[in-house]
């Protein structure tokens, strides 16, 4: 086992152990992938001010996110097909998040179901929902989330249509993998992954198969999902979801100030500045660049979080300094999951926490609440 010191080490190990189509599903963006690359690259241009002769004892990264205490301002983002990175992947990630003390968010397009997560964890978790044409199916999902003790609903707004993801098209992405010659040859080199999948019954979309009308297997599921993402999504639909849920509501996929104002006026509890990890509109700016002006516009009236491009604890610190009160990680935990299962997710969280804690200390702070833009070198970050 190689020594793991950073998220990049986990990525390299996951690349060796996860089948190509599922690794590429995580480690790619849409079209030219320019936005995907910008999400992480733009963090590197923001520089930190190092302070000395400051008491660094008694540090804490603990915060409150959407009314929930967290060990650090990090949440596990909803990611489809996590259970194809490693057998029972969503369950393992949820358990790691619970033990570490941060929120876990389950995707509608997960392999493990809402009920699976509830059965294997004690802490409340968040559930992500897409706006679908089948409103009855959505109501049932909301009811299932409530029964599973979910403490917040995350409504994703930026997937009315799906971005063109070239690697997924070329790989013929499916869950489970189709038994083509190319897939079989690739799987032969992934024995750990195959053994894990042989030991679980969870191989398809657990939140949908058997829970929505007309979906009983992977073939009928594919036809259903192609028809279900609702391109007519409007703010009236957001209100519809809010009324039926009645609990904490987080709106994910905000990249524009005008949309942020509408999100704040909707009565939602938080919004997530997100370009879907660069997997939707290629050519959009990075989430980090969009963050400051959205915080300036609505940060006083709605809790602002962000995702896309976070690969280290320093990235979390920079996002917090620019006003994000939560940093959501997708690829960073998925690399750990693909590399080593629950142990890998825990390792990813430990790495991020250590980097956050030490970097906060070097900037002269011992509590997250005291961290502001003054820790950043002027001129290295955008404010408008």
Query: Is 240 within the bounds of a domain?
Result: yes
In contact, 124 and 104? CB cutoff 8 Å: no
Q: Which run of H or of E encompasses 143?
A: helix 135-147
Look at residue 175 in the predicted model and tell me its pLDDT. Answer: 80
Query: Is 38 within the bounds of a domain?
Result: yes
Least confident of 73-82, 147-156, 160-169: 160-169
- HEC profile of 12-74: HHHHHHCCHHHHHHHCCCCCCCHHHHHHHHHHHHCCECCCCCCCCCCCECCEEECCEEECCCE
Per-residue pLDDT tens over the stretch 294-325: 999 999 999 999 999 999 999 999 999 999 99
User: Which tokens in the block code for residue 22?
Assistant: 């599922």
Count other Cβ atoms within 10 Å, centred on residue 182: 13
HSE toward the beta carbon, residue 229, CA cutoff 13 A: 15
Res. 218 pLDDT band, cuts 50 70 90: low
Tell me the CATH number at 139.
3.20.20.70
Query: Is 150 within the bounds of a domain?
Result: yes
Per-residue pLDDT tens over the stretch 247-265: 999 999 999 999 999 999 9
Active-site annotation holds for 276 = yes
Query: Is 111 within the bounds of a domain?
Result: yes
Per-residue pLDDT tens over the stretch 10-66: 999 999 999 999 999 999 999 999 999 999 999 999 999 999 999 999 999 999 999
The pTM (predicted TM-score) of the whole model is: 0.96
Provide the sign of the torsion angle of the four alpha carbons 191, 196, 200, 201, taken in this order: negative
HSE toward the beta carbon, residue 90, CA cutoff 13 A: 33
Look at residue 286 in the predicted model and tell me its pLDDT. Answer: 98
Look at residue 2 in the predicted model and tell me its pLDDT. Answer: 80
Give me the number of domains the chain comprises.
Answer: 1
In contact, 89 and 107? CB cutoff 8 Å: no
Dist. CA 351–CA 349, nearest whole Å: 5
Dist. CA 314–CA 47, nearest whole Å: 10
Look at residue 121 in the predicted model and tell me its pLDDT. Answer: 98
Domain with 164, as residue range(s), is: 7-375
Count other Cβ atoms within 10 Å, centred on residue 49: 13
Look at residue 1 in the predicted model and tell me its pLDDT. Answer: 67
Q: What integer is the mean pLDDT of 147-173?
A: 93
Which of 327, 304, 309, 271 lies closest to 102, judged by CA? 327
User: Which tokens in the block code for residue 109?
Assistant: 């397009």
In contact, 25 and 173? CB cutoff 8 Å: yes
Query: Is 302 within the bounds of a domain?
Result: yes
Query: Is 1 within the bounds of a domain?
Result: no
Query: Is 382 within the bounds of a domain?
Result: no
Which is the catalytic residue, given 69, 166, 211, 276?
A: 276
Does residue 226 have a pLDDT over 80?
no
Task: Kindly write down the DSSP assignment for every residue of 103-135, as one continuous string.
Answer: -BEE-TT-SS-HHHHHHH-SS--EEEEE-BS-H
Q: What integer is the mean pLDDT of 201-220?
A: 82
Per-residue pLDDT tens over the stretch 335-368: 999 999 999 999 999 999 999 999 999 999 999 9
Cis bond upstream, residue 258 (ω within 30): no
| Phi and psi angles of residue 309, each rounded to the nearest 5 degrees, phi first | 100, 0
Query: Is 381 within the bounds of a domain?
Result: no
Per-residue pLDDT tens over the stretch 65-76: 999 999 999 999
Computed over every residue of the chain, the mean pLDDT equals 95
- Cα 131 off chain centre by: 18
């Amino acid at each position: 086992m190689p020594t793991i010191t950073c998220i990049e080490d986990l990525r390299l190990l996951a690349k060796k152990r996860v089948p190509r189509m599922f690794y590429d599903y995580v480690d790619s963006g849409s079209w030219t992938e320019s936005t995907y690359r910008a999400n992480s690259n733009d963090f590197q241009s923001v520089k930190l001010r190092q302070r000395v002769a400051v008491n660094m004892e008694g540090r804490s990264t603990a915060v409150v996110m959407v009314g929930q205490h967290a060990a650090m301002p990090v949440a596990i983002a909803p990611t489809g097909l996590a259970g194809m990175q490693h057998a029972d992947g969503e369950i393992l990630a949820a358990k790691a998040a619970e033990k570490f003390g941060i929120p876990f968010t389950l995707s509608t397009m997960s392999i493990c179901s809402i009920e699976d997560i509830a059965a294997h964890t004690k802490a409340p978790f968040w559930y992500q929902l897409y706006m679908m044409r089948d409103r009855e199916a959505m109501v049932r999902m909301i009811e299932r989330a409530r029964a599973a003790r979910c403490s917040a609903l995350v409504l994703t707004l930026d997937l009315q249509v799906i971005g063109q993801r070239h690697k997924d098209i070329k790989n013929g992405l499916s869950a489970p993998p189709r038994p083509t010659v190319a897939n079989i040859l690739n799987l032969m080199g992934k024995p750990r992954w195959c053994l894990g999948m042989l030991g679980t019954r969870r191989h398809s979309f657990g939140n949908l198969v058997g829970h929505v009308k007309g979906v009983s297997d992977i073939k009928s599921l594919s036809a259903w999902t192609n028809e279900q993402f609702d391109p007519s999504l409007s703010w009236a639909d957001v209100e519809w979801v809010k009324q039926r849920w009645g609990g904490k509501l987080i709106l994910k996929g905000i990249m524009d100030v005008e949309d942020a104002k509408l999100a704040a006026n909707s009565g939602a509890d938080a919004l997530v500045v997100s370009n879907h990890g660069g997997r939707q509109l290629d050519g959009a700016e990075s989430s980090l660049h969009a963050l400051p002006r959205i915080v300036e516009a609505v940060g006083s009236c709605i809790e602002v979080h962000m995702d896309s491009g976070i690969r280290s604890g320093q990235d979390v610190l920079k996002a917090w300094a620019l006003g994000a009160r939560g940093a959501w990680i997708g690829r960073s935990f998925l690399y750990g999951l693909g590399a080593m299962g629950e142990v890998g997710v825990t390792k990813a969280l430990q790495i991020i926490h250590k980097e956050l804690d030490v970097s906060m200390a070097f900037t002269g702070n011992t509590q997250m609440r005291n961290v502001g833009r003054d820790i950043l070198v002027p001129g290295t970050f955008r404010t408008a």
